Amino acid sequence: MKKKSALPLMLHPLLTSLILSLLTAAISFGLDGFEPTVEPGGSSATIFTATVLFVTLLFLFPLFLAVFGLPSVLFHLFSVRLPIRLLLYLVIGGLCMSMVPYSARYNSLFLAVGFLYAVLDAAFFFLQKKQHRN
């Protein structure tokens, strides 16, 4: 009997949360037309990048890890079926949309993140099943 490694189960929520938080911050700031005031000799691209990374690492990444990553691990441990996972991720995204004051104009991004998290979770689920067959 093979012993399952917990490393892929833990890496999946960490990496998925990091990638989706970077995308969410970049998209919302990009759609807002973020134009910082630039000192002479400064670059607006570096200020934009620093702002996106700051918001991502201090706000969105911990938020996504808590509200999407933890349920992802629990869903895998309790073998929740994929359609139910999709529904629950959308419900979690909807709750975040109504409760978390990220951006009044782009709170619907949480719903999109919930859907993308469900898609990536399903891909991870099928990848794990394929590896168990070999």
- Structure confidence by residue, pLDDT tens digits, 15-63: 999 899 888 888 877 776 666 665 666 666 677 777 788 888 888 899 8
Among 28, 1, 4, 19, residue whose Cα is nearest residue 103: 28
Per-residue pLDDT band at 123 (split at 50, 70, 90): confident
DSSP 3: P
Locate the domains of the chain by residue range.
8-133
Q: What's the pLDDT at 1?
A: 42
Per-residue pLDDT band at 116 (split at 50, 70, 90): very high
DSSP 6: S
At 80-101, the pLDDT tens digits run 898 999 999 999 998 888 887 7
Rounded to a whole number of angstroms, the CA Rg of the chain reads 17
Q: What's the pLDDT at 99?
A: 85
Which amino acid is residue 59, in one-letter code?
A: F
Mean of the pLDDT values across residues 113-117?
92
pTM over 0.85: no
DSSP 132: H
Q: How many residues are present in the chain?
A: 134
Which amino acid is residue 91, in one-letter code?
A: V
Are the C-beta atoms of 110 and 17 separated by less than 8 Å? no
